[in-house]
Amino acid sequence: MAIKRKVCLTGPSRLTVAEELLRAAGCDLVLGKPADNFPDFHYERKELVSLIGNCEIVFPVGRDFISGDVLDSCPDVQAVVKSSIGIETVDVDAATDLGILCCNSPTPENYMGVAEATVGLMVALFKRLKLNEAYMRASGWKEAQNRGTLMLGQTAGIIGLGRIGQNVAKRLGPWGMKILGYDPYVGQETAAPLGVKMISLEELLKHSDVVTLHVVLTRETRGLIGMRELKMMKPSAFLINTSRGPAIKEADLVQALNEKIIAGAALDVFDEEPLPINSPLRQVDPHRLILTPHIIGTNPGSLEAGQRMAAASILAILDGKIPDTVVNPLAIARWRERFWAWQAT
């Protein structure tokens, strides 16, 4: 079986580092067409299938969803590789059934950047930075009712104790905050060295002064926080989401903020991205809701590191090797059977 080393960057491509590395390794790149309206640009299904053609690797660049139907229509595809941590734009279950590997790129620059940003959002909320900055720009000065809250002794609840959640905990511990955690896949033995006490989601919501989400998007986490959960929180508590927008029911959060069910929130991710101009989130009191455009944890180092990790994963797969970045290990046996059985003969 001949390996063509064809890689499709769905485009519009801005992955210049990855392109250089793949070309230098002898890969034949198929680049998506440029678009003036990136990131709103999306391919029609037929266009995407035609673009991928007989490529062996799909490297999604935009927000196009790589569906099982698309993958099934492109029988040469061995893997879908992303240069970010999130891989929700790929039908991983369908890929697994087809024996197609799915890889992400969890670089330290990426997950530490998000952890730093999360702590920054906590500070902004507790210290009421947006309110006081706006008050001063309107010729005001300090007022007793605008004072912030001391974070020392407050309780932070971390939902999702993966790489990002663990690094948030590492940064909060020295500040003298109590840290609670909820993650059905992480035990107390992992959390204890971080100073985190693992409890149920309900107990975490009831006792936390700030709740921060660090989850991947799955059937379990979609809509994880709705009105029922928001009403469990303290009226003085804050909610932060730097993970995936659909983990929170946006309409419920808007209502909770408008009715002062919780004190405030900060969002860097949304159900629909870019956030629509007419989104009700934009109408919430800006002193109580911080909105950032899915960028707060991003830095030049994270972008380049993600491209390098993705390129390394691609080259490993094209050589018949399994990179550490595979998120669907159940696909490996079928992948070997479909694409690499000839090696054993």
Q: What is the pLDDT of residues 125-142, one digit of tens each?
A: 999 999 999 999 999 999
Its sign, for the CA torsion 152, 156, 161, 167, is negative
- Is-catalytic flag, 273? yes
pLDDT of residue 341: 86
* Residue 1 belongs to a domain: no
Q: CA 155 → CA 34, 117, 158, 203, 207, distances in Å?
A: 47, 18, 10, 12, 7
* Residue 71 belongs to a domain: yes
Q: Looking at residue 147, which CATH number applies to its domain?
A: 3.40.50.720
pLDDT of residue 33: 72
Please indicate, yes or no, whether residues 279 and 137 belong to a single structural domain of this protein.
yes
Of 274, 291, 308, the domain-final residue? 291
162, two tokens: 């993966």
* Residue 285 belongs to a domain: yes
Amino acid at site 71: L
**101-103 vs 264-267, strand pairing mode:** unpaired
pLDDT of residue 83: 92
DSSP 8-state secondary structure symbol assigned to residue 66: B
Q: Which entry of 20, 202, 220, 273 is annotated as an active-site residue?
A: 273
pLDDT of residue 2: 60
Q: Which entry of 128, 214, 288, 294 is annotated as an active-site residue?
A: 294
Domain housing 25: 6-104+300-344
Please indicate, yes or no, whether residues 325 and 339 belong to a single structural domain of this protein.
yes
Please indicate, yes or no, whether residues 147 and 255 belong to a single structural domain of this protein.
yes
pLDDT of residue 206: 98
pLDDT of residue 118: 98
Nearest to 60 by CA among 37, 35, 79: 79
Please indicate, yes or no, whether residues 270 and 220 belong to a single structural domain of this protein.
yes
* Residue 311 belongs to a domain: yes
- Is-catalytic flag, 147? no
* Residue 337 belongs to a domain: yes
Please indicate, yes or no, whether residues 42 and 179 belong to a single structural domain of this protein.
no
- Is-catalytic flag, 337? no
* Residue 19 belongs to a domain: yes
Please indicate, yes or no, whether residues 207 and 276 belong to a single structural domain of this protein.
yes
Please indicate, yes or no, whether residues 272 and 181 belong to a single structural domain of this protein.
yes
Residues of the chain with pLDDT under 50: none
Q: Which entry of 5, 128, 207, 244 is annotated as an active-site residue?
A: 244
Buried/exposed code over 34-51 (b: 16+ C-beta within 10 A; e: otherwise): eeeeeeebebeeeebbeb
Residue 255 CA to its chain's centroid (Å): 25
pLDDT of residue 40: 60
pLDDT of residue 73: 97
Please indicate, yes or no, whether residues 73 and 164 belong to a single structural domain of this protein.
no
* Euclidean distance between CA atoms 55 and 83, whole angstroms: 18
Q: How many domains are contained in the chain?
A: 2
∠ CA 228-265-242, nearest 5°, is 95
Please indicate, yes or no, whether residues 308 and 326 belong to a single structural domain of this protein.
yes
Please indicate, yes or no, whether residues 156 and 170 belong to a single structural domain of this protein.
yes
* Residue 233 belongs to a domain: yes
* Residue 240 belongs to a domain: yes
pLDDT of residue 207: 98
The three-class DSSP label of residue 213 is: strand
Please indicate, yes or no, whether residues 259 and 128 belong to a single structural domain of this protein.
yes
Buried/exposed code over 158-176 (b: 16+ C-beta within 10 A; e: otherwise): bbbbbbbbbbbbbbbeeee
pLDDT of residue 37: 52
Please indicate, yes or no, whether residues 157 and 53 belong to a single structural domain of this protein.
no
